[in-house]
Amino acid sequence: MVKTKERGQFQMGVDSTPTFFIKGKKYRGALKPEQVLGVLDSML
């Protein structure tokens, strides 16, 4: 578990929770459902 945390922190730049990755782009903080849908819709 510690190695997974360290990998996220150092290799992927995760410094807050929640942090989401969608198609390689990082999104920080609590996203509202409509925000997530907007991100996903823009990728279609």
Position 10 scores a pLDDT of 82
Question: Is the pLDDT score of 1 beyond 90?
Answer: no
In the structure encoding, which two tokens stand for residue 3, read together? 């190695």
User: What confidence category does residue 4 fall into, taking pLDDT thresholds of 50, 70 and 90?
Assistant: confident
β-pairing, 25-28 vs 19-22, is antiparallel
pTM beyond 0.75: the answer is no
In the chain, where the domains are located = 15-44
CA distances from residue 12 to 20, 29, 33, 35, 37 in whole angstroms, order as listed = 11, 15, 24, 22, 23
Q: Which tens digit of pLDDT belongs to each residue from 8-31?
A: 788 888 888 899 999 989 999 999
